[in-house]
Amino acid sequence: MKIKVYIVRHGNTFEKGDVVTRVGGRTDLALSASGEVQAQKLAQHFVGAGVAFATARSGPLKRTRRTAQVILAAQPAAPDLTTDLFLREIDYGPDENRPEDQVIARIGRPALEAWERESIPPPGWRVDPAAITGNWQELFADLRGEAGNHLVVTSNGIARFALAAAGETRSDAKLATGAYGVVEIDDDAARVLEWNRRP
């Protein structure tokens, strides 16, 4: 039985020229115009590749729900979209919705690099890596009995822990906006087939 989980990061929430901030779970931004385009590209890519989804879930934030809705709108027989609260973005604590230069000034570049490389949260960020990894492991276990392709749309701070849940470490766990990874599940393991692929 082939089971694949397509883990998608939502599209852009900022446009060129905007002041980009670290948007976490307390900041519910909609997709920007370019984010809508990214969602459409994902939708067309999956249909063009013959990827039909048996189930679909997203976090509760506008940016993740909208990305999932656009992808599903292109599917010939789309499943219902469900909301999974663990897929909500992490809470960046005092750095929530602050520009990167202010974040780096507070925590230091090494702390930010440790997050990007090893998913080690900087001081003050409200995130439990073990719990999020466990949530991914539970999701993979739940999907073991459901053949087909499964869509999961979330944010970067949550998506990166799917790698650990599949027993993989990478020097860069980040998913770019509008990018996705694929995890294959069988009876006794989960394996990462692709990561950070954009259509």
pLDDT for residue 170: 85
From the number of C-beta atoms within 10 Å of its C-beta (0-12, 13-18, 19+), residue 114 rates as middle
Residue 127 is predicted with a pLDDT of 96
- Residue pLDDT, tens place only, 3-52: 999 999 999 999 988 888 999 999 999 999 999 999 999 999 999 999 99
Q: Would you say 185 and 3 are in contact if contact means Cβ atoms under 8 Å apart?
A: yes
Burial of 148 (0-12, 13-18, 19+ CB in 10 A): middle
User: How do the domains of the chain map onto residue ranges?
Assistant: 3-91+127-197
pLDDT of residue 184: 96
**CATH class of the domain at 3-91+127-197:** alpha beta
**Please, are residues 31 and 39 in contact by the beta-carbon 8 Å criterion?**
yes
